[in-house]
Structure formats: C-alpha cells, structure tokens
C-alpha cells in the first residue's frame, strides 16, 4: 500500500518551527554536537559519522542512480551503497509514500559540509538518502501513520540492518536513511548481492512483500529494539 502524503504534512510548518527552536540556545546559536563539528556547524573530519571516506570531488566515487518504478534519480556512492539505498527508495515508494517529482527534494550525495546533526555528514560520503527532508524535517516526529512505520521497519529488516532510519536518531529526522555498517562490511556486500539477484527474479524484490507476515514483523521488531538502543 502507499499514500501520497503523511499525516504531519499539513502541520509541519508549525511543528517545524518548534523543532527548530529546540535546536537553538537562548542566545540564538545552533546547538550542535561537540564531536566533529566546528562552531559554525561545519563537519571537520575526512570521514562521515558512519565511518565512510569523504572524497574531495564527487566523480568517480558517486553517480546518478535510478529509483526503479518512479522515474526519479538520486546521486549516491557507487557500488553496494547505491544498490541498497536505491532499493530502499523504491520500496518506500511502493509501501510507505509515493515518490514524485514536484513534491520536494530527494537528497543523496552533497558536498556542503554544513550539518545540523552528526548523521547528516553521511551525505558527504554518499552513504545517506533523505526522502523529502522539508516534508519530514529534522526534529519533527510522528510524520507517519503506524502502518507506514511498520513498512519502514520491514524495509530495514529486509536489508539486514545495514541501514539505519533517522526516526531512531537523536535528534530525529524521519526523512533520513543511512548506511550503518563500515566500508568493508560483508553483510552490506551480501545484501547488495541479494538485491541484484532479485532484479533478475520476477517474484522477488520491491512490491512483492507482505509487511504484515508474522515472521517479517517479528524480525522488524527485533531489529527496531537493537537500532533504537
């Protein structure tokens, strides 16, 4: 199942203001983690928060990827990362909310080192995907209906936990998904290989899942406990 808009879309202009205020101190300065951020919010490390390298130039480490079934594209780190995140976007389109041009921006790789939270630095390494970040902004929770959250949890479990959802981060950003394993992860390689095999199998892949299957729901809940902690 899929819907075009989430239940918080209409309210985001109000809740977004409140969320933004929560990230600002009484003196009016942005409250950023002390870890790898400069005072102006610039990410200073040569790797993103998830441990992946940040090249000085986009090519050739990142490239434009098709999000199958949508007619849309996104720039991601080439290889297994692109395979996994593009598939996630495809399933989001089918099972959570439709991805359509004109609704907002889909963000993969970006070169701007200004970030508001550590996990946003994952865009710099091409290992993060934000689906309509203006619709589902930083600090705003409850954007999705319960059945949409169930679908998101199912997607994460199907991907073997190699991707983390921004709904489980602090601060929360429910539009965000990022690779949550190191560059040499064998699990990532195995998941990507499975997804490529599914592309050649008509009965496999996005659009074929029953997210309410008891076994899938059990796996989703177990992963959620792990990723929330």
First to last CA, the chain: 29
Q: What is the pLDDT of residues 157-166, one digit of tens each?
A: 999 999 999 9
SS3 10: coil
Cβ neighbours around 20 below 10 Å, total: 15
**Alpha-carbon dihedral of residues 131, 152, 180, 214, nearest 10 degrees?**
-170
**Tokens 């705003």 correspond to what residue?**
140
Do residues 166 and 174 touch, judged by C-beta distance below 8 A? yes
On the question of pLDDT at 2 being above 50, the answer is no
Q: Which of 72, 16, 133, 153 is nearest to 123 (CA)?
A: 133
**Tokens 């409250």 correspond to what residue?**
31
How far apart (Å, rounded) are the C-alpha atoms in residues 220 and 170?
20
Hey, CA dihedral for 201, 205, 207, 210, is it positive or negative? positive
Mean pLDDT of 42-67: 90
The pTM of this model reads 0.82
Mean pLDDT of 133-142: 94
- DSSP letter assigned to residue 168: G
Lowest mean pLDDT among 50-64, 137-151, 176-190: 50-64
How far apart (Å, rounded) are the C-alpha atoms in residues 115 and 127?
15
How far apart (Å, rounded) are the C-alpha atoms in residues 19 and 186?
38
Q: Label residue 127 by pLDDT band (50, 70, 90).
A: very high
Mean pLDDT of 207-221: 87
SS3 106: strand
Q: Which of 194, 223, 206 is nearest to 95 (CA)?
A: 206
On the question of pLDDT at 184 being above 90, the answer is yes
- DSSP letter assigned to residue 217: H
Q: Label residue 153 by pLDDT band (50, 70, 90).
A: very high
Tokens of residue 201, six digits = 């199998």
Tokens of residue 182, six digits = 């190191």
Q: What is the DSSP string of 128-187?
A: EEEESTTTS-TT----S-HHHHHHHHHHHHHTTT-EEEGGGSSS--TTEEEE-S-TT-HH
The mean of the pLDDT values for the chain is: 85
Lowest mean pLDDT among 85-99, 114-128, 165-179, 192-206: 192-206
């Amino acid at each position: 199942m899929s819907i075009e808009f989430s239940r918080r879309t209409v309210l985001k202009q109000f809740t977004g203001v409140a969320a933004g205020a929560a990230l600002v101190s009484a003196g009016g300065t942005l409250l950023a983690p002390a870890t790898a951020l400069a005072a102006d919010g610039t990410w200073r490390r040569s790797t993103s928060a998830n441990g992946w390298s940040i090249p000085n130039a986009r090519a050739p480490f990142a490239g434009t990827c098709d999000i199958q079934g949508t007619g849309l594209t996104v720039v991601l780190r080439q290889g297994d990362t692109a395979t996994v995140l593009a598939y996630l976007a495809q399933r989001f389109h089918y099972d959570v909310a439709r991805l359509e041009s004109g609704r907002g921006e889909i963000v993969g790789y970006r070169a701007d080192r200004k970030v508001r939270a550590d996990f946003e630095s994952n865009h710099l390494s091409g290992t993060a995907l934000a689906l309509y970040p203006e619709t589902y902004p930083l600090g705003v929770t409850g954007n999705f209906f319960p059945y949409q959250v169930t679908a998101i949890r199912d997607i994460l479990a199907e991907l073997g936990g190699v991707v983390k959802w921004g709904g489980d981060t602090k601060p929360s950003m429910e539009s965000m998904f990022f690779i949550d394993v190191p560059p040499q992860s064998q699990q990532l390689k195995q998941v990507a290989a499975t997804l490529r095999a599914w592309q050649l199998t008509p009965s496999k892949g996005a659009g074929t899942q029953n997210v309410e299957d008891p076994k899938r729901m059990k796996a989703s809940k177990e992963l959620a406990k792990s990723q929330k902690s």
